[in-house]
Structure 1
Amino acid sequence: MCGYEPPDEHKLRMIHALPGDDECAVVLKFLASMMNLADHFEDWRTLGKKRLAWNAEQRSEHKKARVCRECRRAFDSKKKGCGKVAHHERGTGAFLGSLCQDCNKAAHKPSHVTI
């Protein structure tokens, strides 16, 4: 949902060992590939952010929203974590909906990929 698109070389594929490779070659190649993907994702996260891009209809929808799209709590700027936020894809800037601050924070992707 964040708009991140992994490079083609990291999409599902079989990693084969070559004749003469160590018995752990497939696992080592897989781990190296995942570390490379984690670096790519981190670069995208820091350099590829797009600002919110919405049209008049989406802006009006957000303004009219009274409850969080996820938890259904009523928006209230006086309650901590219940203010209204325009949730969007960081990679494309596309408006996704109106969320409370807590749900918006929970929706963010982790900044690290554990291998």
Structure 2
Amino acid sequence: MRARRLTFGGRLLCPFLRPFFLDSRDEARVKDAAETLWILGERVAQAALSDDTLLADLALSPDEIRLARIDPGYATASTAARADAFVLPDSLQFAEYNGESPAGAGYAQGLAE
């Protein structure tokens, strides 16, 4: 993995002997939760652009606000992002939203090989 640069922060992306696979039930649970999270995120983004009080609650810098107000020419606020989650037997916990570094798709091919 190091030879193929499949690292982040100097650590291997997958240091485990056996990868963790989801069964179809857990896959559906993760998919449903992630899609709901994305829908809510899009609603907040759209609402914030028309409500200065809500926009202020997001604690964006003036430069970030100027960027957010630019019409990109498509409907969604994010076209390539990822939500990092932990799948546990009785819960699904999202740790963070990564809109600035959606690297998962780029790493997936290398890990699959």
Which bracket does the TM-score occupy, shorter chain normalised? under 0.3
Q: Given the two structures, how large is their TM-score scaled by the length of structure 2?
A: 0.28
1 or 2 for the larger relative contact order (CA 8 Å, sep ≥6)? 1
Bigger helix fraction: 2
